[in-house]
Structure 1
Amino acid sequence: MTTQDPFGTRRLREAVLSAWSASPTRFREDANAEEDLRLGAYKDRLLVELAQNAADAAGSGGVLRLSVVDNELRAANTGTPLDADGVAALASLRASAKRDGGTVGQFGVGFSAVLSVSDEPAVVSTTGSVQFSAQRTREIPELADHVAARSGQVPVLRLVWPIEATAPPGFDTEIRLPLRPDVDQAALLASFRAQAPDLLLALPGLTAIEVDGSRWTCTDLNADTVQLSGPDGETRWLLRRASGKLADTAGLGLEASPEWTVCWAVPLDPSGAPRPLREDVLHAPTPTDERLSLPARLIASLPIEPSRRRVMSGPGVTEVLAEAARLYPSLVFAVDPMHRTALVPVPGFPRSDVDSTVRDLLIAELRSAAWLPGVTESLAPASARVLEIPSDDLADLLSDVVPNLAAARLAEPEHAHALAALEISRLRIPEVVVAVTGIDQSPEWWHRVYAALAPFAENDSTIRDNLSGLPVPLVDGRTLPGPRGTLLADDPEFLSDLDVPGLRLVHPDAAHPLLERLGARPAGASELLDSLQEAVERSVADASAGLMVAGLAHAVLGLVGQAGGRPWLKALALPDVDGDWREADELAVPGSRFLDVLADDSPLGLLDPEFAERWSADVLASVGVLTGFAVIVDEEPIGPEHDLADEDEWWSAGEEPNRVVAVRDLDLVADDKWPAALRLLALEPATWRALREPGGYTAWWISRYASLNGHPPREWRTAGASDLVGLYDPLELDLGDDLAAAAGVRTGLQVKDAADAADLLDRLGDPERVVPHGVSLRAHAALAGSADPAELDAPERVRVLSGDAVLADDCVVLDAPWLLAVLQPDKVVAALDDDAAEPLAELLDLPLASESAGDVSGGELVPWSELGAVVVAAELLGFDLPLDGVTVHDELTADGQRVHWWVDGERRVHAEDTPEGLSRALAWAADRWIDRHVIHALLDDPDPRTVLG
């Protein structure tokens, strides 16, 4: 059966064979050229060329299906079927079926890419089918010598034969490529799958590519966006396309002006934001080897070399790239304003010459086009300025002040590289300060500026430093260059009538915490009050000079109501009843109860009644105006500097105080008003605490200088102070024990200091006083060691055992009980304390009795254990007998006087052989002196009933 030849392949074969016969080298040239294309230019471009052919055939809506059937790669496509010109082009290594009016730079030699996998390619179409075959070429007899010369290597795509085959249903053409044994079919199909999505984007003539059952489609979502769908999901691409005719075709060898097309494409994420590319290649329209570093893919019908890998040089390329650059800003403008900078080529090393050229063109176009998001409108980057900090609020506020201000969010780090590439000027913080200096804006506007700057200044000291000159509006209408030294007040109500030079109060509508961070001082009532200290301290002098100080007085009192008092507020000038201005602490509120206890010549004045009526007593008291006795509190005193009466004396009377809590003006109380004054002090908690302050000034001064029935409180005792009977008279005033004690009225026998000791000695030596024996004995014990004798004068008279106050000249201080037997009671001073004798003798400047005592002799030393009654007494009382014995005398004398017991100079114990003598000797020797009377009774009657009864 004869195979039909609808495309005249016989004639084509004869022409080729004739050419090879006429020029023996032509065979070799064709074979070499084909090998160069297979191994070089078209290596790894099989799918690209198959897809390009399918797109050319379809024009639009084309479908390409790729599969391997019986070891044969099949590429079926829809579109224009094969015709004679197409067959001729396939069989011509240097010709193309495309006309000059077609796409720039496309050549028919691309079909040679099939040689990378097959030596027996065939094209099956609805209009007929052809085959190329290396094997059939080798079998042509007249080529035997050529085949032998090249060891069997022959051109494959020069001789074409018709074959009987039919395109698969639904397709118009199918290229069939029997695969050589060395082809890895799985790897080949895998590479097709990887390339399919990009080829759909690059070739608008195709809408679907299927690879071995996996299908990719390209769908137009709108005029600017397409969606690629495939096994791995969907991807959206934003597109911008343009077309035209080349104005300059020099060097292209074309008679007519070809059309050019340009397409920019960038993938979009699910939110619609662009996902810039990092690495890509130029697509012309299929991939080339021209590497690009652009954020978007460039697909352009550029003139390319026959290898389809490199762009040709010449004016045509320059023209198309320039058109691509002019189109690019429209792609940028099509995305959300805050994502536009992602499409700016960032600085870096160009990946190729084309990359360098396109990047420069794009930057130039992007700098001049109005696409950059501005505060009010899109801007051209060449004239735009971007804030140093990403504050939308600040940008809005500055938009009327700084022209061409870009959207503030462009200051975010992700935009930095784009801004640098576009050479956009940054508006630094110092420039912001300069821009707003000298402008007239409302306080509310300034507050919004501070609020916008605050988050960035909070944690950045450099920004805070650069804001040091930020203007600040004041309540008086001035605007200061910088917040330092200004005051921030929540409510300037009390300062409305105040005229204080140098007071710089921020307008309350402008006040913001940022100003405090920049050096402004917080000015709540407390801070505002402190800012007026200097004015307060000179207020009396200002009033004397004729200046108006009433506004200051009312402002201070109003602030004190919120902030409390200060020690220096006592200097505030206030009017008295006569209209004179005096310091606040020199005035009292009219009607105050404590005024009734002051002396008639008191220097205190009365506050103007109308002024006093306007302000509460608490507020007036806070500035020092007296509504009662004033209390001074100093937690860290450094000296007697509180203007208290006799403070120096108190300060030096004892240890330096750790704090001072004292009632002031005690020296102004009238002598006959002290009982009432004390009751007033007890009524007020502050003065009562001051009166009871341990070691405090108030009690110290009152006890010495107040007058109760003509005497200081310390010269009286309370009625219940029984250990002071005879020494101090009871206070007859009804103050109550607590108040009396707090005022210094004595409640018991205490010697606190040298003054107390001197007073007690005087009272003991007063012959007019009748002092009970027990009181004097306890008083002498309290005096012993109570004061430094050097601070006291020895008393002329002393209280002796007889109860009398006698001249001290011949008196002694009892220091041993046995000496009483030889001493006269009117010559002996004694204390109810065994250890008090020596310090008491030193204090009274008297000798000890033992210093002049005589000695004894004779007697018989007897162990205590040999004295039966003594043994019984010790056993009954439960103590051990002394180891030393006792020297027993029938009759014992000392200093010529009869005594019952004695201790000699060598500390030997002597006793008469009597219960009285032995009992005291035993009690002393056994250190049981307190039991001497019980021992005496037992020696007299050694029976248990003596102890029990």
Structure 2
Amino acid sequence: MTEGDRSGGDLPDPFDTAELRAAVLASWRGSPTRFREDANAEEDLRLGGYRDRLLVELAQNASDAARAAGVPGRLSVRLVDGELRVANTGRPLDATGVAGLTALRASPKRAEPSVGRFGVGFAAVLAVTDAPRLATAEGGVAFSAARTRDEVAALAESSAETPAAVRELAARGGEVPVLRLVWPTDERPPEGFDTEVRLPLREDVDPGAMLADMAEQVVDLLLALPALREVTIGDRHYSSAGSTDERTVVRTPEATRTWLTERATGEWPESTLTGVGVEQRAHARWWLCWAVELDGDGAVLPPRTDVLHAPTPTEERLSLPARLLAGVPVEPDRRRVSASPATAVVFGQAAHTYPELLSRLDPLERTALVPEPGFPLSDTDERLREAVVQRLSETAWLRAADGSTVAPRRATVLDHFSPELVDLLGDVVPGLLRAELSEPAHASALRAVGVHRMGAAELVEVVSGLDRPAEWWHRLYDALLPVERTDRTAREELTALPVPLADGRTVTGVRDLLLPGDGAEDAVAALAELDVTGLRIAAAEAVHPLLERLGARWAGASDLLDAPALVEAVHNSVADARAGADPMRLAEPVLRLVGEAGTRDWLGALALPDSDGEVRRADELLLPEAALLDVLDPRAIGPEAPLQTVAGSVLERCSPERLRAVGVLDSFAVLVEEEPDTPHEGVADAEIWWREQERLRGEEWPPSRFVGVRDLDLVAEDAWPEALRLLTANPETARAMREPGGYTPWWTARFAVLEGRSPRQWRTPDAERLAGLYDPVPDVGVDRETLRLAGVRTELTVADTADAADLVARLADPERGVRAGLTMAAHRALAEAVACERIDPGEIDPPRAVRSVSSAVISADRAVVLDEPWLLGVFEPALVVAGGNSYEFDAEALAELLDLPLASEQGVVEILGQGVTQAWRDVARVPAACELLGVAVPYGEVELRDGLRVRTSEGEHRVHWWVDDGGAVYSERSPDGLARALAWAMDRWRERFTLAALLADPEATTLLR
């Protein structure tokens, strides 16, 4: 017999179980439906709300008992002889408690705070047993499914009719409500405990798996039930202990776990209890506990998906980083939260308390408890998340750079981690958070609660306008350098950073900013004293690699000199000086820079005082000892003249070398322009040269570079020999003189003066081939090469229209004795110039006289231009103008230039008489001559005559050979005539004389003589 069987009428009944049984049996006997209702209700609890909650329900009852007794709660779970025995300390079971155990809808715990809301929670034991018992020091009670079935069956013996309970028992297959009938026992709890629940396990229960499952629930129970301090599951011991810093330490057989907790409690306002059952309204106090687990270093452990604990786990899934345990109204099955005003009060207080939990953490750990954005896991999760995030955004819990705490909505965090930046901006940006909070790990949390993020663009805006020393800006640049290196977007935004300048100003942006380098200190100091608009030289103390990476340029002397603002200041310096500015304030630092960096073309615009006390451009001034003074026209120097000497006061302060570097003249100066698109305004007659070159070069114009010597038009006429020596003595001007097609040789050839004529009107003494056309230049003390560079002729050329007109005029001059060969060469050069479009015949007046191939000067009205060689047989040589053989020059171009007819245009030619037509291969000696010359006999025919005569408008003429308009070839039977006809037919006109010799004597020796 078990202890459960040793109960009955012979035992003391301190809990009045007999009366309780009688009342229940009476209700089953008196009501046809009451047995069914009780059985169904207990089945709902066993299979529904309290299924799988055995340890939870017994633990919360143990917690209530410990709190009621004011002692630390202890709970022991062990297996003894097939029974699960759960013992606890605290107020033991009394008669009221026993009555509550047998009541399915009533609880004895109304007037005291507790976590177990209903006596029916004891129904959880039915998950493992059909005969639960409870033992206390005063006695015990037992429940039994078997004895209940016997009591129901006994109802039939005392009634004339079969009671409804009996019929329902049969209908239910013997299933009965176990916890409605209770019997006394004489069992006692183990020593050290006040109450023990004893549960004989059904055969389908696995004791080992059950204990393992219970062990997994212990930590949660120790957190949820603070009155419960120790739990033993078999031989595994668990305990919890609180501390002064709201930490709960839970010790398990495997480890010690620490939880940070924040608890709150209060009473529900009466108005919030509407709709709540009587049992719940009896518990008018609410309570809650936030808990988060910490690691050994006090850091928050990664959160996991959890559920709401009320205090036992519900099925309300939560995604909050901290666990919430709260006394909220729940549905009867204790799985869902009741939707009531009372629930809203608890959730509101939970959100209000949440920031206090965060404030107990290290400032850098607090963001770990901010709910991350995401989809809520349940309606309850959504309500709590929204309330918590709203409260967090309004409450001061974030640690600012100055050590204070600030609410997220009033806080700012930098986009990039930089303790240096935070240190610099702490007194500039209100609510700026600690630098560590800029780390990516905090970004999502801070964004969720509305912390403003400050990027590079806003940072630049914030520091703009600040009055800080250059050293402070250097520290700022140093802190921003890692940002620029890693954030491509920030790089562009940082280009607007303020920069302190050497002149004391602070400007916005690094555009055109110069960073003073070594060797430029004196010039920088001098420039800093000037008000040069746009000249931005960084203060030396602020110079930093970041500025260079953002676009600033290191400024040695060369960089400073090339600064656009300084260039513009130099260009405006004359106007500024004439408006009252001291020209030397700008000139002196510029001249210092020139000493280090060398010259620049635009430095000629620098304003300097002249010897009359006026201000001029540097390139309009001469050094007092300048060699150029000896060759310039006196009218070119003076107050109203293009040039003047520099003031003596300037020479006292600046060396001649530096003055020359800025354009002050000592000799001729060269102007250079890259990629010109219009004529240079700084040289004389540039437009004429430009147009000529444009016509000559076509698509090759304009040039990639213009180089020209200036002031050539200011040279005195009688000083040109010395001027030419100056030009060739200086390497720079000498290069300009040698430039093919360049401006300088073009100008000197036309406008320089040597013994009253331009250089191109003379020839060098050794150019004897040009004798007759051009006179030798007199001895002017200049060497031949210099004369050649100046334009004195060494060969026959036609460079331009003026050249052509001059040559035509010279050929027509009867006073000139021009040899026939030179005459033809001249005509050939003229024709070539026309054909190449180097000259425009329309710009030259037709000559009245021309020079023929006989060197005679004849009236142009009588002359013709020979365009075919056979025509020479019908024209007098004195009337024929030619540039050589027809293949050597363009007869039509020459005829156009001289406005002469072509010989072939002069009337109809009639070939007189008849001859014999033969194929060339059949003509005597022709094959032999061709073979000796190594050429093929031409195809076609020739008509041979003993004497060849033609008639023109001028009469009859005997000719050696002829070609008619149809291309037919005629020849007299003579070596001279036949050789010319054959050479023409073979297109080998140059070999006509060789052919004549071979036709006269077709032997190899003829070629060798």
Q: Which moved more, 1:837-846 or 1:436-445?
A: 436-445
- Cα distance change of structure 1 residues 288 and 889 upon mapping to structure 2, 3 Å threshold: closer
Amino acid at match of 1:931: E
2:1005 equivalent among 938, 945, 948? 945
2:160 counterpart residue number: none
Shift of 1:567: 6.2
3-state SS in 2 of match to 1:118: coil
3-state SS in 2 of match to 1:337: coil
1:113 equivalent among 88, 106, 124? 124
2:324 counterpart residue number: 298
- Cα distance change of structure 1 residues 910 and 449 upon mapping to structure 2, 3 Å threshold: closer
Does structure 1 conserve the Cα–Cα contact (< 8 Å) formed by 2:49 and 2:333?
Answer: yes
The equivalences for 1:437-586 within 5 A come to 440-445=467-472, 483=508, 488-491=513-516, 492-500=524-532, 525=559, 529-532=563-566, 535-558=569-592, 569-586=603-620
Shift of 1:642: 0.9
Is 1:587 the equivalent of 2:621?
yes
Shift of 1:497: 2.8
Does structure 2 conserve the Cα–Cα contact (< 8 Å) formed by 1:780 and 1:840?
Answer: yes
Is 1:758 the equivalent of 2:786?
no
2:822 counterpart residue number: 775
Is 1:705 the equivalent of 2:728?
no
1:658 equivalent among 702, 709, 715? 702
2:897 equivalent among 843, 855, 864? 843
- Cα distance change of structure 1 residues 616 and 313 upon mapping to structure 2, 3 Å threshold: same
3-state SS in 1 of match to 2:405: coil
Does structure 2 conserve the Cα–Cα contact (< 8 Å) formed by 1:526 and 1:563?
Answer: no
1:148 counterpart residue number: 166
CA distance in 2, matches of 1:175, 1:149: 32
2:679 equivalent among 640, 660, 663? 640
Kindly provide the CA deviation profile for residues 771-818 of structure 1, in whole angstroms up to 9, marking residues without a partner as x. 443332222222225344433234455444444555656444444545
1:931 counterpart residue number: 991
TM-score, scaled to structure 1: 0.78
Shift of 1:939: 3.3
- Cα distance change of structure 1 residues 765 and 11 upon mapping to structure 2, 3 Å threshold: same
Kindly provide the CA deviation profile for residues 75-103 of structure 1, in whole angstroms up to 9, marking residues without a partner as x. 46676599775997599436999998885
1:238 equivalent among 259, 269, 292? 259
TM-score, scaled to structure 2: 0.74
CA distance in 2, matches of 1:261, 1:475: 68
Kindly provide the CA deviation profile for residues 472-516 of structure 1, in whole angstroms up to 9, marking residues without a partner as x. 766665678xx3799744244342331457878776656889999
Does structure 1 conserve the Cα–Cα contact (< 8 Å) formed by 2:500 and 2:538?
Answer: yes
Shift of 1:578: 4.7
1:791 counterpart residue number: 843
Does structure 2 conserve the Cα–Cα contact (< 8 Å) formed by 1:89 and 1:96?
Answer: no
1:858 counterpart residue number: 913
3-state SS in 1 of match to 2:290: strand
2:292 counterpart residue number: 266
Indicate the percent of aligned positions where both proteins have the same amino acid: 44
Shift of 1:523: 9.2
Shift of 1:834: 1.2
Shift of 1:373: 0.8
1:198 counterpart residue number: 220
The equivalences for 1:369-380 within 5 A come to 371-380=397-406
Is 1:337 the equivalent of 2:363?
yes
CA distance in 2, matches of 1:271, 1:581: 80
Amino acid at match of 2:845: D
Shift of 1:113: 0.6
Q: Which moved more, 1:76-85 or 1:598-607?
A: 76-85
Shift of 1:548: 2.3
CA distance in 2, matches of 1:859, 1:315: 141
- Cα distance change of structure 1 residues 64 and 800 upon mapping to structure 2, 3 Å threshold: farther
CA distance in 2, matches of 1:257, 1:22: 28
CA distance in 1, matches of 2:251, 2:325: 20
- Cα distance change of structure 1 residues 888 and 32 upon mapping to structure 2, 3 Å threshold: closer
CA distance in 2, matches of 1:382, 1:55: 40
Does structure 1 conserve the Cα–Cα contact (< 8 Å) formed by 2:39 and 2:176?
Answer: yes
2:32 counterpart residue number: none
Amino acid at match of 2:577: A
CA RMSD of aligned residues (A): 5.9
Q: Which moved more, 1:669-678 or 1:94-103?
A: 94-103
CA distance in 2, matches of 1:309, 1:536: 88
Q: Which moved more, 1:383-392 or 1:643-652?
A: 383-392
CA distance in 1, matches of 2:924, 2:412: 120
Is 1:868 the equivalent of 2:877?
no
2:12 counterpart residue number: 11
1:883 counterpart residue number: 940
Shift of 1:574: 0.7
The equivalences for 1:140-219 within 5 A come to 140=151, 143-145=154-156, 148-151=166-169, 152-157=174-179, 158-160=181-183, 175-179=198-202, 181=204, 192=214, 195=217, 197-203=219-225, 205=228
Does structure 1 conserve the Cα–Cα contact (< 8 Å) formed by 2:56 and 2:221?
Answer: yes
Shift of 1:646: 1.8
3-state SS in 2 of match to 1:136: helix
3-state SS in 2 of match to 1:264: strand
CA distance in 2, matches of 1:343, 1:918: 119
Does structure 1 conserve the Cα–Cα contact (< 8 Å) formed by 2:222 and 2:240?
Answer: no
Q: Which moved more, 1:142-151 or 1:97-106?
A: 97-106
- Cα distance change of structure 1 residues 767 and 428 upon mapping to structure 2, 3 Å threshold: closer
Amino acid at match of 1:945: T
2:31 counterpart residue number: none
3-state SS in 2 of match to 1:879: coil
Equivalences, count: 936
- Cα distance change of structure 1 residues 64 and 575 upon mapping to structure 2, 3 Å threshold: farther
Shift of 1:704: 0.8
CA distance in 2, matches of 1:39, 1:273: 41
Does structure 1 conserve the Cα–Cα contact (< 8 Å) formed by 2:514 and 2:552?
Answer: no
- Cα distance change of structure 1 residues 648 and 307 upon mapping to structure 2, 3 Å threshold: closer
Kindly provide the CA deviation profile for residues 828-878 of structure 1, in whole angstroms up to 9, marking residues without a partner as x. 433223154444344334455563797663353252555433443344334
Structure 2: runs of 5 or more not aligned: 29-34, 157-162, 517-523, 638-642, 696-700, 835-839
3-state SS in 1 of match to 2:802: helix
Kindly provide the CA deviation profile for residues 557-590 of structure 1, in whole angstroms up to 9, marking residues without a partner as x. 4566688877665332112345432112201345
CA distance in 1, matches of 2:447, 2:679: 70
3-state SS in 1 of match to 2:792: coil
Is 1:901 the equivalent of 2:960?
yes
3-state SS in 2 of match to 1:238: strand
- Cα distance change of structure 1 residues 139 and 590 upon mapping to structure 2, 3 Å threshold: farther
Does structure 1 conserve the Cα–Cα contact (< 8 Å) formed by 2:718 and 2:753?
Answer: yes
CA distance in 2, matches of 1:719, 1:124: 148
Kindly provide the CA deviation profile for residues 418-457 of structure 1, in whole angstroms up to 9, marking residues without a partner as x. 6688777889999989987876543444565677789599
Shift of 1:332: 0.9
Shift of 1:701: 0.4
- Cα distance change of structure 1 residues 54 and 724 upon mapping to structure 2, 3 Å threshold: farther
The equivalences for 1:71-150 within 5 A come to 75=84, 80=89, 89=98, 92-93=101-102, 109-121=120-132, 132-140=143-151, 143-145=154-156, 148-150=166-168
3-state SS in 2 of match to 1:786: helix
1:598 equivalent among 614, 617, 632? 632
Kindly provide the CA deviation profile for residues 742-775 of structure 1, in whole angstroms up to 9, marking residues without a partner as x. 4333343322322222222333344454444333
Kindly provide the CA deviation profile for residues 353-373 of structure 1, in whole angstroms up to 9, marking residues without a partner as x. 8996998599669855x5321
1:696 counterpart residue number: 742
- Cα distance change of structure 1 residues 63 and 930 upon mapping to structure 2, 3 Å threshold: same
